[in-house]
Structure 1
Amino acid sequence: MLVGTYLLYAAVMVVAHPRIIYPFGADAFDNPAFRQEVVSDRDVSVAISEGDDDLAVLFFMGNGGSLAYFTYSLDAHQDAGRTVAALEYRGGAGIAGRPSEQGLKADALAAYDWLAAQHDGPIVVHGFSLGTGLAIHVAARRDVAAVLLDAPYTTLCALMTKGSYLPACYLPFVQKWRSLDDVPALNAPVLIQHGTADQLIPIGYGAQLANAMDVAGLSVTFHEVAGATHNNLAGQAGYQDRINAFLNGFPKN
């Protein structure tokens, strides 16, 4: 009886887990500094703000699903004069479609390819939470100058396992988001910022990812942001300064 109940629970969670991973908000991103572009025949939507700096930043948000919730991260680059291109996720903020790991990763590569065709200078990828998996995925397959990660995970299915008491990384049809698998293909310097009070993605996951990158021979800078939670990390004092110092610390050409 207990085994049958557990198997039924597992089946329900396999079907329902995308709704848990992608609880996207409906608030539209309405910032006059940005324009929206449809950048491929996949109908990929990107919000872009032009800057004067040689660096351009391709930003991947968390699972809030609307760029309206990520103004601190966007401001960090706009204030520094960088061009910012931010992927808008299908199913969030009024964007048509249904999100999935495979689809979002394909959209992220399409957004990079469009930005690379528009921008002559180097490109940095920046991800927050869910978006760190997209940033790492792109950096493992495209030429990027640096990788910025806020509150990253090693594998999202490990977090699902902890929250559901199911072996999510081994269940069929589960979207697993294995960032660790892409680490060997990275070759750009990495900045990780993670809050010590983050309960959604505990800082230990960011530390494990940083260690794996260090073992792979990457240049990794890991900042423990004292007292920061998952949702207020980008609003903490020093957040922008750390990004600026990191990006100013290596050659752009």
Structure 2
Amino acid sequence: MPLWLHIALIVFVAYAVISILLYYLQDYFLFKPEKLPKDFDFYYENQTVSEYNIETRDGAIINGLHFSVEKPLGVVLYLKGNSKSIKGWGKFAVDFTRNNYDVIMVDYRGFGKSTGKRSQKAIKHDLQFIYNKIREKVSEKYIIIYGRSMGSGFATKLASMNSPKMLILDAPYYSLTKVTGRYMPFMPLSIILKYPMPTYKWLKYVKCPIHIIHGTKDKLIPFSSSVKLSQVNPKLTRLHPIIDGGHKNLNNFESYHKILTEIIKSKEKKIDLSTTSIGVKHSSKK
């Protein structure tokens, strides 16, 4: 066997082995769950919170928290990132309860107290199931879907299939295939990735106002991904940059809280474009 063919064969076998390993181990790389014992007691200072468990059709248990306020203006379904559990993510509920909104947070399968085999399809079905439970008690015009990082893809899919008041995406990715491709550019991710999460495809079908919040110095999911996303459904989308914000520290910026409050409290106003400078032609001197 010629040397070049021998080397090519070794490279091919190594490539195939790595691809197979990535396929079976990708859950380990993509998700960093924190397990909680069944008797774990959630507590958040100055917050009224209740815990619930919902059983899905395939027997999985989805554990969640309901942060409530008196006379809520609506409810925020908060879809968290890919790490830890709602034990830690619950601290962000105050950013919405302070604006008089109830907050629903859930742990994905395998996170916290939630059980069941995890897959992109299963998580999408779980979240739709949760959304259906919410709209049994709250009209959709009062429901805000908020997706953070990994949760932004699921949030977009959910919004594309329903009619919430608005969709807020925090540090979203154009697609998970694009994000992982930055670190493994030579791997066949479009084939082996079990969680492609094509946010840009789902965003086309969202019919409610879309707000995208992203730090300009995010090194994990670059700000440019939100710029591209804002161009997918431009008539309904507003992009809110957090200057110097990273991926995990937006809540430390005053500008983030001002923007979030403005988004939640704002009322969409239609503009009579005929009264603006759009289409105005400047006449030339004779």
> Is TM-score (shorter-chain normalized) higher than 0.5?
yes
Q: Secondary structure at the match of 2:77?
A: strand
Q: 1:160 aligns to what?
A: 180
Q: Kindly indicate whether the alpha-carbon contact (under 8 Å) linking 1:22 and 1:99 is maintained by their aligned counterparts in 2.
A: no
Residue 50 and residue 37 in structure 1: after superposition, are their counterparts in 2 closer, same or farther (change >3 A)? Answer: same
Q: Kindly indicate whether the alpha-carbon contact (under 8 Å) linking 2:63 and 2:113 is maintained by their aligned counterparts in 1.
A: no
Instruction: Note if 1:3 corresponds to 2:20.
Output: no
Please list every run of at least 4 consecutive aligned residues from structure 1 whose deviation after the TM superposition is greater than 6 angstroms: none
Give the superposition deviation at 1:116.
0.7
- The number of aligned residues is 249
Q: 2:122 aligns to what?
A: 103
TM-score by length of 2: 0.80
Amino acid at match of 2:76: V
2: CA distance, partners of 1:150 / 1:173: 23
Structure 1, unmatched stretches of 5+, are none
Equivalent in 234, 237, 244 of residue 220 of structure 1: 237
Instruction: Note if 1:175 corresponds to 2:195.
Output: yes
1: CA distance, partners of 2:147 / 2:43: 20
1: CA distance, partners of 2:192 / 2:73: 44
Q: 2:4 aligns to what?
A: none
Instruction: Note if 1:150 corresponds to 2:165.
Output: no
Instruction: Note if 1:46 corresponds to 2:58.
Output: no
Instruction: Note if 1:238 corresponds to 2:255.
Output: yes
Q: Kindly indicate whether the alpha-carbon contact (under 8 Å) linking 2:19 and 2:188 is maintained by their aligned counterparts in 1.
A: no
Q: 2:227 aligns to what?
A: 207
Residue 167 and residue 174 in structure 1: after superposition, are their counterparts in 2 closer, same or farther (change >3 A)? Answer: farther
Residue 164 and residue 29 in structure 1: after superposition, are their counterparts in 2 closer, same or farther (change >3 A)? Answer: farther
Shifted more, 161-170 versus 144-153: the winner is: 161-170
Instruction: Note if 1:68 corresponds to 2:87.
Output: yes
1: CA distance, partners of 2:197 / 2:250: 22
| Larger of the two Rg values belongs to structure | 2
Q: 1:37 aligns to what?
A: 52
Equivalent in 8, 11, 15 of residue 24 of structure 2: 15
Residue 146 and residue 49 in structure 1: after superposition, are their counterparts in 2 closer, same or farther (change >3 A)? Answer: same
Q: Kindly indicate whether the alpha-carbon contact (under 8 Å) linking 2:73 and 2:100 is maintained by their aligned counterparts in 1.
A: no
Q: Kindly indicate whether the alpha-carbon contact (under 8 Å) linking 1:77 and 1:83 is maintained by their aligned counterparts in 2.
A: yes
Q: Which has the higher contact order (CA 8 A, sep 6+)?
A: 1
Instruction: Note if 1:24 corresponds to 2:33.
Output: yes
Q: Kindly indicate whether the alpha-carbon contact (under 8 Å) linking 2:215 and 2:223 is maintained by their aligned counterparts in 1.
A: yes
Amino acid at match of 1:225: I
Q: What is the CA RMSD across the aligned residues, in angstroms?
A: 2.1
Q: Kindly indicate whether the alpha-carbon contact (under 8 Å) linking 2:210 and 2:237 is maintained by their aligned counterparts in 1.
A: yes
Amino acid at match of 1:244: T
Shifted more, 118-127 versus 103-112: the winner is: 118-127
Give the superposition deviation at 1:168.
4.6
2: CA distance, partners of 1:46 / 1:72: 14
Give the superposition deviation at 1:71.
4.0
Residue 126 and residue 84 in structure 1: after superposition, are their counterparts in 2 closer, same or farther (change >3 A)? Answer: same
Instruction: Note if 1:81 corresponds to 2:119.
Output: no
1: CA distance, partners of 2:80 / 2:164: 18
Deviations 1:32-76 (A, max 9, x none): 532122235343332112222222111100001412332453211
Give the superposition deviation at 1:25.
2.1
Q: 1:187 aligns to what?
A: 207
1: CA distance, partners of 2:34 / 2:115: 13
1: CA distance, partners of 2:53 / 2:94: 22
Residue 188 and residue 236 in structure 1: after superposition, are their counterparts in 2 closer, same or farther (change >3 A)? Answer: same
2: CA distance, partners of 1:225 / 1:67: 24
Q: Kindly indicate whether the alpha-carbon contact (under 8 Å) linking 2:22 and 2:192 is maintained by their aligned counterparts in 1.
A: no
2: CA distance, partners of 1:169 / 1:29: 40
2: CA distance, partners of 1:104 / 1:168: 24
